[in-house]
């Protein structure tokens, strides 16, 4: 069957049919193209950009301009996957008007198909406002890295009955507000399964167990490119960083030793032309 562009209806149909939805992050043209070719359903231009590409120590400093710049590159590399632009901290928190304006920039300027924003019940009115403005919103609950300080660190959420009850209520409220999908980060498997049954929209887990409608991971973690730390929920499918470092060190050695470039990497000029030049 020939592949077509992924749609919101297609994602919902997958949930209803019990087919798993796939999501990976991308931040640049060539990685997006490889991910798209791998057959992923959705690509998230996550604000994890700040940590895995820009070298910040958290996602908090990431700006709208940085996000839009990378979203545009991913757009150029993507043919089929549904693109989700992650709204950075304070781009949607001050007022609903500002949230709509900034969400609109992801669609109009960067070519994203939708936006994602973090928060539970308290963000439901903002989600509704952005959706009412015609922009699809993916919600994000559980561990919300932009407000990790408020959560007292990068901790699993919903581990007691009250916390779990609040997560389930948040999921219901965001569904009712019109979100088309829900990311759930670092929550107990059983609570993620309960939420997945409780809402009509697809749920995407990251550290939320196997019973979500789909899964997302940060691509740099999957490929072993981010070496600072590896969260418990990550599966590294390949460990590229040591291979890349070895290749780069070999290049440095070969240039220093005069091994590279070899004759096969150069361009020849005919002997008579060289004679003319000299003569």
Among the residue ranges 41-49, 103-111, 194-202, 245-253, the one whose residues contact ligand KIV (CB under 6 A): 41-49
Q: Among 6-14, 43-51, 224-232, 257-265, which window interacts with ligand KIV (CB under 6 A)?
A: 43-51
44: preceding bond cis by omega (within 30 degrees): no
Size of the site for ligand KIV (CB under 6 A): 11
For the CB of residue 260, give the shortest distance to ligand KIV in the complex, in Å: 37
Q: Which of 22, 31, 42, 48 binds ligand KIV (CB under 6 A)?
A: 48
Q: Which of 67, 77, 28 is nearest to 47 (CA)?
A: 67
185 is catalytic: yes
Our finding on whether 42 is near ligand KIV (CB under 6 A) is no
- For residue 97, the minimal CB distance to ligand KIV (Å) is 24
CB of 241 to ligand KIV, least distance (A): 18
Q: Is 254 helix (H, G, I), strand (E, B) or coil?
A: helix
| Residue placing its CB nearer to ligand KIV in the complex, 6 or 117 | 117
What is the DSSP secondary-structure string of 15-72? HHHTPPEEEEE--SHHHHHHHHHTT-SEEEE-TTHHHHTS--SSSTT--HHHHHHHHH
Q: Do 24 and 44 form a contact (C-beta atoms < 8 A)? A: yes
Q: Which one of the listed residues 162, 185, 254, 273 is annotated catalytic? A: 185
In contact, 139 and 127? CB cutoff 8 Å: yes
Which residue's CB comes closest to ligand KIV?
Answer: 46
Q: Does 47 bind ligand KIV (CB under 6 A)?
A: yes
Token pair of 129, please?
């406002």
41 binds ligand KIV per the rule CB under 6 A: no
Q: CA-to-CA distance for 182 and 205, rounded, in angstroms?
A: 8
Does the protein bind ligand KIV through residue 216 (CB under 6 A)?
A: yes
Nearest CA to 146 among 50, 28, 65?
50
- Rule CB under 6 A: choose which of 26, 35, 46, 100 binds ligand KIV: 46
């Amino acid at each position: 069957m020939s592949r077509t562009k992924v749609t919101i209806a297609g994602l919902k149909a997958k949930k209803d049919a019990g087919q798993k939805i796939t999501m990976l992050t991308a931040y640049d043209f060539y990685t997006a193209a490889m991910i798209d070719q791998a057959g992923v359903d959705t690509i998230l231009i996550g604000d994890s950009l700040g940590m895995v590409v820009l070298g910040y120590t958290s996602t908090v400093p990431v700006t709208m301009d940085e996000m839009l710049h990378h979203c545009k590159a991913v757009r150029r590399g993507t043919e089929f996957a549904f693109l989700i632009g992650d709204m950075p901290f304070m781009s949607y928190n001050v007022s609903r008007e500002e949230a709509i304006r900034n969400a609109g920039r992801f669609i109009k300027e960067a070519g994203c198909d939708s936006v994602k924003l973090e928060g539970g019940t308290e963000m439901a009115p903002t989600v509704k406002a952005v959706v009412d403005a015609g922009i699809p919103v993916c919600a994000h609950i559980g561990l919300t890295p932009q407000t990790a300080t408020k959560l007292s660190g990068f901790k699993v959420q919903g581990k007691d009955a009250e916390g779990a009850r609040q997560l389930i209520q948040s999921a219901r409220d965001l569904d009712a507000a019109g979100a088309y999908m829900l990311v759930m980060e670092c929550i107990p498997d059983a609570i993620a399964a309960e939420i997945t049954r409780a809402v009509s929209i697809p749920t995407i887990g990251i550290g939320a167990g196997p019973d979500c409608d789909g899964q997302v991971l940060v691509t740099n973690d999957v490929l072993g490119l981010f070496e600072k730390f590896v969260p418990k929920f990550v599966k590294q499918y390949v460990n590229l960083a040591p291979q890349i470092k070895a290749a780069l060190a070999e290049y440095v050695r070969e240039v220093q030793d005069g091994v590279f470039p070899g004759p096969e990497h150069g361009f020849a000029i005919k002997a008579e032309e060289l004679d003319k030049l000299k003569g």
